[in-house]
Amino acid sequence: MKHIRIISSIRPNIFISPLFFIPLIIIFYCSCNEDRVIKRESKPEATLQQLQTVYGKSIQRIKTYKAFMEEAENSKLPAIIKLYRALLRSEEIQSQNHLALMQKHDIQPTTIKEEKFIVGSWRQTLKMALSMEEYSVNSVYPTLIKLADCEKCADAAQHFRSMQDAKRKHTELLRYAIKQGKEMPSLTYRVCPCCGYLLTTEETAECPACKKGVGEFYNL
């Protein structure tokens, strides 16, 4: 076991904070008072606030995946190394997209606080990575999509849906890696430059998440 300075973003309760309850209250208000929603255009404050949070968590997850990849390298598992390299590149693209959307709305990223974390065995890192991604798919992004729809922030809603689809693919790959273990075959990964969706052997003309042509995907 070794101590690495990365982020505690892998805990299932990473978004359980006072700020995260604000959008939940707004969603409840919108669902119960649709006829009282103000019609005039206004800045989607809660959506943009949570976009800042998601961006910070994405930066933290990049550091997490770097540490997990290092553990796979120490264990001499080339197929797991390739998987983490693909997940890392996907997360980098997603963080860049979060930032671009923030800049479009004149929002600046907040300071990211780092914490100590213990990286376990390569098998433990796979399970922790799966926990992170499942939480994003099942809890974080559904809430963000509802919030963006409630505040009528169309670009953020579409952005969150694409990110959710890309994360769902992450969970599939991680489950496969956990099942195969050391016998996991070496896969070839292609990553969408727009949303970070990962392709392996699928035959498709466009990205399943954002519809980008696969001819523009990066080979990893």
Q: Is residue 181 part of a domain?
A: yes
SS3 (DSSP) at 1: coil
How many domains does the chain divide into? 1
Residue 85's domain comprises 2-31+42-186
Helix (H) or strand (E) holding 2: strand 2-6
Q: What is the DSSP letter of 36?
A: G
In a domain, 209, yes or no: no
Strand order in the sheet with 198-199: 198-199, 190-191, 218-219
162 assigned to some structural domain: yes
CATH code of the domain covering residue 65:
1.20.1260.10
Q: Is residue 202 part of a domain?
A: no
Domain presence at residue 164:
yes
Is 193 within a domain? no
Q: Is residue 206 part of a domain?
A: no
Cβ 186 vs Cβ 212: under 8 Å: no
- How would you write the pLDDT of the chain (220 residues) with one tens digit per residue? 444 444 444 444 444 444 455 555 555 545 544 544 444 456 788 999 999 999 999 999 999 999 999 999 999 999 999 999 999 999 999 999 999 999 999 988 877 777 677 789 999 999 999 999 999 999 999 999 999 999 999 999 999 999 999 999 999 999 999 999 999 999 999 999 999 999 998 788 999 999 999 889 989 8
